[in-house]
Chain A
């Protein structure tokens, strides 16, 4: 499909500084590939299945030719049956393997919710901890170029409501590799949320195996006037907004949560103690989403730190339009964050 390339190629090669001292710089997409490659080499229980995972494109290059390296028993294409595929990887996980299931659009994840929500995420609890389900479900949100309402959703907020699930949403190449490795070695079902527009993001990535703990956020940019908590691709937009705010003499602190289940609450509270103002930005819809949950946590536990009402910059509560004009109005970006912060400073 040309649009995936066209829209992503139009993006700048954004570089995000990380806590890695490594001098090697690679893309987010290559970091995911490397995490899969090294995890498969390290642990023979790891296998990948999903629609088109061994085709020449290899899920935007993230699984490209892995079937040639590890064999058709460990990387294989499947029928289009998202719900049952999720049940099958659940069964395989309970029988001792470490499966990775890939949905090349996050929208397809919704077809699989019975097996993910009713089965995989509850199995450990329902059976008193007798069975572990070490499962990774990779989902890729895509957007732009008229993909419309069924090929562009970001439903990570909806998934936060699922007991027994962990959710990673890395924004940098370093995190993409480290968190994918953490997800694979975790003994629980993990939803690994990727965003197509992050695939070109560049950053320092060590070439060895390393893992990043769940529930530990990062301050991506230090600031004193306002706290911007960002998730997934919105980290980039928040960093761009912070840069522009600097020219207005506003110092914004940008927090990247890295995982949204569990959430690093302390990193938010520590920042709010300095700034007293909070803006939350997510790639999904506003109501009942990631930003709602973060706002609720702050209202519950850190209300005393707030000098102003909380603001949220999310997609509006409508399906995604296909029209380029409407798309532009639908998606939030650094400009909408910038404007909202200016209002907060009045």
Chain B
């Protein structure tokens, strides 16, 4: 069982992700964040529950929707927001935008906007750890849309053969843009992973304690050199695929479905749980929010006051020295 400090840390990470994303949502209408954004509101428990088990030298590789992993793994929030504002001070120097976040110091090695693209790359990072006899684990995040790609199957097969220290985390939020999982998959996703001989779990991705437990088990197994694990986290994204749109009422999903998932809010549930066991009280909740809001305020000020790249910088970084 987690000690109180860890429980509070988990809560803080989830709430940071939520509040950062709400602020991004608020600012988006001013058109200064001139890049597509993909929000993880509703899915915070997964990144928080996985990343709290990772060490600094462990890696995460994400997708177009990776604000949550970046924050959970300890990425620099100032640099992340500056990247959304496409500033020179951004984590990718304004070359990447919201879909290409990086913080090598924190073990965030990048994120890709090609569906399925993160899977072989993360597998390769795990391969490197194995070849170098390092004890590092790589957590590879992707959505339920990515499992339709060949890269998913090719990589799982490879990781199983080579017993790589990789954790595959499928954030199954039911939708690939607007295409529902029911029309895309013939079976539960975790069963595919089982088919490659990989221990696989399907869990409630809104239950951060469950995510924490299973991720801990998977990460320990990987660290022991016993190979990859697969975790399918059932969750829901509250917002539409892209931007700040809300799909309800546009024929894409029903109000009833949406309401059900709002009632299963991972943060509300966890907050109530922590209050129930006496770990959190209203004063603490308030002071945590204040602390987070300070971080967010500073990050947005840093970003908005940062310089933009110059046209003459255009071809910097095409090649490494």
Residues of A within 8 A of B (CB): 47, 73-74, 78-79, 81, 83-97, 114-115, 118-119, 123-134, 163-164, 166, 187-188
Q: When the two chains form the complex, which single residue of A84, A119, A124, A129 contacts B112, counting CB atoms closer than 8 Å?
A: A119
Q: Mark B41-75, 1 if CB is under 8 A from A, else 0.
A: 00000000000000000010100000000000000
Complex CA distance for A78 and B119, rounded to whole angstroms = 17
| Contact present for A132 and B124 (CB under 8 Å) | no
A78 with B158, Cβ < 8 A, contacts A73-B131, A87-B119, A126-B100 known: yes
Other contacts beyond A128-B96, A129-B93: 11, CB < 8 A: A84-B158, A85-B158, A88-B127, A97-B132, A119-B112, A124-B318, A125-B318, A127-B92, A127-B102, A128-B92, A187-B320
Contact A119 B95 (CB under 8 A): no
Asked whether, in the complex, the Cβ of A84 is within 8 Å of the Cβ of B155, the reply is: yes
Nearest CB in chain B: distance from A108 CB, A = 14
Residues of chain B within 8 A (CB-CB) of A47 are 131
Q: Which residue of B lies closest to A78 (CB)?
A: B158
Contact A126 B123 (CB under 8 A): no
Asked if A92 and B319 sit within 8 Å, CB to CB, the answer is no
9 pairs from A and B in contact (CB 8 Å cutoff): A84-B119, A91-B122, A91-B125, A95-B59, A127-B96, A127-B100, A128-B94, A128-B317, A188-B319
- Within 91-141 of B, Cβ neighbours of A (below 8 Å) are at 91-96, 100, 102, 104, 109-110, 112, 114, 117, 119-129, 131-132, 138
Find B110's partner among A114, A115, A126, A187 (CB 8 Å cutoff): A126
Measured CA separation A113–B21 after assembly (Å): 34
Is B148 part of the contact surface with A, judged by Cβ < 8 Å? no
CA–CA, A126 to B320, complex, Å? 12
B109 & A83 in contact (Cβ 8 Å cutoff): no
List residues of chain A with CB within 8 A of the CB of B112: 118-119
Query: Which single residue of chain A is at the shortest CB-CB distance from B94?
Result: A128
A-chain residues with CB within 8 Å of residue B114 when the two chains form the complex: 114, 118-119
Nearest CB of chain A from residue B180's CB, rounded to whole Å: 25
Q: Report A-chain residues with C-beta under 8 Å of the C-beta of B126.
A: 91
Please determine whether A97 and B119 come into contact, CB atoms closer than 8 angstroms: no
B257 CB–A CB distance under 8 Å: no
B291 at the interface (CB under 8 A from A): no
CA of A93 to CA of B125, assembled, Å: 8
Q: Identify the interface centre among B100, B121, B129: most chain A CB within 10 Å of its CB.
A: B121
Q: Is B298 an interface residue (CB 8 A)?
A: no
Instruction: Determine if B95 and A125 form an interchain contact, defined as CB atoms under 8 angstroms apart.
Output: yes
Q: Is B90 close to A, CB under 8 A?
A: yes
* B244 contacts partner chain A, Cβ-Cβ < 8 Å: no
Does B276 sit within 8 A of A, measured CB to CB? no
Whether B320 lies near A96 (C-beta < 8 A) is: no
Q: How far is the CB of A266 from chain B (nearest CB, A)?
A: 20
Assuming the contacts A79-B161, A84-B119, A119-B112, asked whether A129 and B317 have C-beta atoms less than 8 A apart, the reply is: yes
Judged by a CB distance under 8 angstroms, whether B321 is at the interface is yes
Please give the distance in Å from A333's CB to the nearest CB on chain B: 36
Given contacts A92-B131, A124-B318, contact A131 B109 (CB under 8 A): yes
CB distance from A190 to the nearest CB of B (A): 11
Residue of A91, A126, A131 with highest tally of chain B CB at under 10 A? A91
Q: Which residue of B lies closest to A118 (CB)?
A: B114
**Chain A residue nearest to B97 in the complex (CB):** A126
Nearest 3 interchain pairs by C-beta: A91-B124, A87-B120, A128-B93
Asked if B94 and A94 sit within 8 Å, CB to CB, the answer is: no
Cross-chain contact of A92 among B61, B119, B127 (Cβ < 8 A): B127
Bound form: Cα–Cα A130–B92 in Å: 7
Which residues in A have their C-beta under 8 angstroms from that of B100? 126-127
The interface residues of chain A lying within 8 Å CB-to-CB of B5 are none
